[in-house]
Amino acid sequence: MIGLILKSVRETWVITAIMGAAMLALEVALHVILPQFQTQADDLFLQVPFIRTVISALMGADVGESFTTTLLQAILWLHPVVLTVAWAHAIILCTRIPAGEIERGTIDVLLAQPLSRRAVYAGDSLVCLASGLAVLLGAFLGTRIGAAIWTPDDGALVSTVLLILLNFAALYVAVAGLASLVSALTSRRGKAMGIAFAIVVGSFLLNFLAQAWEPARAVSFLGVLEYYRPADVLRTGRAPVGDVVTLLAIGAASWIAGCVVFQRRDIATA
Amino acid sequence: MPAIAARGLTKRYGTRVGVDGLDLVVPEGSLFGFLGPNGAGKTTTIRLLLGLMRATSGEASVFASDCWRKGKTVRRDVGYLPGDLRLYPWMTARSGLSLFGRMRGKDLSAQGRELTDLFDLDPAIPVRKMSQGMRQKLGLILAMAHDPRLLILDEPTSALDPIVQEMLAEHLRSLWRDGRTVFFSSHTLSAVERICDRVAIVRRGRIVADETLESLRSRARRQVRIEFASEADAPEVAPEFLDVSRREAATWQAEIDGEASALLEWLKGRSVRDLSISPPDLESLFHSFYRDDEGSSS
């Protein structure tokens, strides 16, 4: 297992370092940019009510009458670029085994070793999760550095930020589990990545539409973003236990299904 | 206990058959050739033996361990070189030996150093900078470094120059002398003929011949050219064992099956100016298997 983990780390540390740094820089940049937008946003809310609907849809929750500091802080965790970086990292890493290895033909040499497929799958998944945590750590550090630059009077407590981070980590696990399942079902990494992205983008759109369209609201529970609500955590300060458990369950169920599929499937590189 | 045993091994892909009721026994300590044209089912058989694929029906075992259910145990005793070898671009011989050593729970550095010296491969060059031949050498080193009881090599001589091919043949023979089993899959007879003592020929997923090379040679045809002393010395009728294809005055072009002793006996007491008999033509024997295949599939 150690050999497998070292191999996976060898292949993924660069992308993890780049994405972790990107996440950190992004959070710092958002801390600098968003407060400048706050005053203009309040005016826009009053003059163009539609803007409020759009922002609510993007946030996945009603944002109220004004562009508050809480709303601003929620955007730090819900900005589409932040989500895209986290999802891209999870999907890129979790489609490496087996789809990526099959596609580049290296799985023959790997599976010729005396390793169970479960160990191969689990070893790579462990590296994926640890790398995901490193990327989320980048986001956390970014928010701390950003907070040092801009500290509003009613800024979020570190404990609240950690609760959001927990919810974000659970979202990462869910997306990683889904990506692993799709990877186990296909032999082409590009296809696996495409399907996994379609699932998370679909979830994002569903969450967006659910704020304004009743039929979408009825099925919004199907999307993973339904269980990621930083705005609620910031507003209440309560741990999102139900959401975290749901996301972890989605991730675990998908991961187990992927493992079973990988253990049973034929491996043909030709 | 045979190194490899397969009985009724079948692999279907929908309506297409990859391996069709294949029966095979590879004795431990043999140099076993596995011959067949492209698409005959050689690689599919190997993938079934390594537990990379699950048989539709039938069974296969390596050293009495079921290839699918006990795949991990099987692979502990096996060194494998894939036919379409792909390696990690960042990997060097040194890092590869370290990596796969960890996966096997064995220190492969000493054996690996011997093999990299033998194949004259720089252990610090990454795969992305290697030529095709160097990659093939690295694949062979990685397959052999843990000193497996059974080596499964799929087209191992492709991309190797003749000198390295000969070196590989010699090394495989030395492994065989140490009691190792070599399963050598190829579509070219010359590669197998140089190394193996026994051969199975696979055609359309089935074994059509499984015998020693000696036995095959005795069945193979030989080209014969007989030049009688004069046209009058040439008999009117050829013996049954001699397949005469051309007669020109006192010269016959012919073929015989198997050994030449009957021909030499028949020629005793006849006036012969010259006689040439080619070595057994195994190539044409194998081609006859393949031609049968084409004939039956058309």
* Structural tokens at position B6: 């397969």
Q: Give the rounded percent of residues in chain B with a pLDDT score beyond 70.
A: 97
Query: Is the omega angle on the peptide bond into residue A80 within 30 degrees of 0, that is, cis?
Result: no
- The complex's ipTM works out to 0.83
**Contact residues for A192 (Cβ-Cβ < 8 A; gap 6+):** A95, A99, A100, A179, A182, A183, A185, A186
**Contact residues for A261 (Cβ-Cβ < 8 A; gap 6+):** A181, A184, A185
Residues A95-150 have pLDDT tens digits of 999 999 999 999 999 999 999 999 999 999 999 999 999 999 999 999 889 888 77
Q: Which amino acid is at A66?
A: S
Q: Directed axis angle between helix A80-94 and helix A69-78, to 10°?
A: 20
CB nearest to A269's CB, from B84, B103, B139: B84
Count the domains in chain A. Answer: 1
Q: Are A174 and A251 in contact (CB under 8 A)?
A: yes
* Structural tokens at position B37: 């044209």
3-state secondary structure of B272: strand
What letter does residue B180 receive in the DSSP assignment?
A: -
A265: containing domain: 2-269
pLDDT of residue A11: 94
What are the backbone dihedrals phi and psi of residue B38, each rounded to the nearest 5 degrees, phi first?
-60, 135
Give the residue carrying structure tokens 């679909």: A202
Distance between CA B11 and CA A105 in Å, rounded? 21
Q: Is B14 left (phi over 0), alpha (psi -120 to 50) or beta?
A: left
Distance between CA B289 and CA B291 in Å, rounded? 6
pLDDT of residue B68: 95
A266 contacts in B (CB within 8 Å)?
Answer: 47, 52-54
pLDDT of residue A201: 92
Residues B196-220 have pLDDT tens digits of 989 999 988 999 889 888 888 777 7
Q: Which residues of A touch B (CB under 8 A)?
A: 2-4, 6-7, 10-11, 104-106, 108-109, 111-116, 264, 266-270
| A214 vs A82, more confident | A82
pLDDT of residue A62: 67
Which of B12, B49, B52 to substitute to test the interface with A, most A CBs within 10 Å? B52
Question: Is the predicted pLDDT of residue A14 greater than 70, yes or no?
Answer: yes
CB nearest to A3's CB, from B86, B88, B102: B102
Q: List C-alpha distances in Å: A230 to A21, A156, A168, A234.
A: 22, 11, 8, 6
Instruction: List the B242-248 sheet strands across, edge first.
Output: B242-248, B251-257, B221-228, B272-277
Q: Which amino acid is at B158?
A: S
pTM of this prediction?
A: 0.85
- 3-state SS of A99-163 is HHHHHHCCHHHHHCCCCCHHHHHHHHHHHHHHHHHHHHHHHHHHHHHHHHHCCCCCCCCHHHHHH
A98 contacts in B (CB within 8 Å)?
Answer: none
Residues A175-217 have pLDDT tens digits of 999 999 999 999 999 999 999 999 999 998 888 888 778 888 8
A116 contacts in B (CB within 8 Å)?
Answer: 71-72
Nearest to A4 by CA among A132, A137, A107: A107
Q: Which amino acid is at A243?
A: D
Long-range contacts of B284-289 (CB under 8 A, 24+ apart): B284/B220, B284/B221, B285/B216, B285/B219, B285/B220, B285/B221, B286/B35, B286/B189, B286/B201, B289/B201, B289/B203, B289/B208, B289/B209
Q: Where are the alpha helices (DSSP H) in B5-155?
A: 42-49, 71-76, 93-104, 109-118, 132-144
Distance between CA B169 and CA B151 in Å, rounded? 13
pLDDT of residue B224: 92
| B259 vs A240, more confident | A240
Q: Which amino acid is at A171?
A: L
Residues A135-156 have pLDDT tens digits of 999 999 998 898 887 766 556 6
3-state secondary structure of B166: helix
CB contact under 8 Å between A267 and B52, yes or no, is: yes
> What is the biggest distance separating any 2 CA atoms in chain A, rounded to whole angstroms?
67
CB contact under 8 Å between A267 and B90, yes or no, is: no
Q: Are B288 and B203 in contact (CB under 8 A)?
A: no
Q: List C-alpha distances in Å: A238 to A136, A159, A167, B41.
A: 20, 10, 11, 62
Q: What is the overall mean pLDDT for chain A?
A: 88
Tell me how crowded residue A168 is: count the other CB atoms within 10 A of its CB: 24
**Measured between alpha carbons, how far apart are the two ends of chain B, in Å?**
41
Closest-CA distance of chain A to residue B54, Å: 6
pLDDT of residue B295: 47
* Structural tokens at position B140: 């062979």
pLDDT of residue B253: 93
pLDDT digit string (tens) for chain B, length 298 residues: 899 999 999 999 988 999 999 999 999 999 999 998 888 899 999 999 999 999 999 999 999 999 999 999 999 999 999 999 999 999 999 999 999 999 999 999 999 999 999 999 999 999 999 999 999 999 999 999 999 999 999 999 988 999 999 999 999 999 999 999 999 999 888 888 888 989 999 988 999 889 888 888 777 788 899 999 998 898 888 888 888 989 988 999 998 876 788 899 899 889 999 999 987 777 777 777 766 555 444 3
CB contact under 8 Å between A109 and B142, yes or no, is: yes
Q: List C-alpha distances in Å: B15 to B18, B20, B298.
A: 10, 12, 18
Tell me how crowded residue B49 is: count the other CB atoms within 10 A of its CB: 28
Q: How far is residue B132 CA from its own chain's centroid?
A: 21
pLDDT of residue B298: 36
Average of per-residue pLDDT across A8-15: 95
pLDDT of residue B194: 85
Q: Give the rounded percent of residues in chain A with a pLDDT score beyond 90.
A: 59
Judged on CB neighbours under 10 Å (0-12, 13-18, 19+), B148 is buried
Judged on CB neighbours under 10 Å (0-12, 13-18, 19+), A120 is buried
CB contact under 8 Å between A109 and B99, yes or no, is: no
pLDDT band at A64 (very low <50, low <70, confident <90, very high): low
CB nearest to A112's CB, from B43, B75, B90: B75
A264 contacts in B (CB within 8 Å)?
Answer: 54
A106 contacts in B (CB within 8 Å)?
Answer: 86-88
pLDDT of residue B219: 76
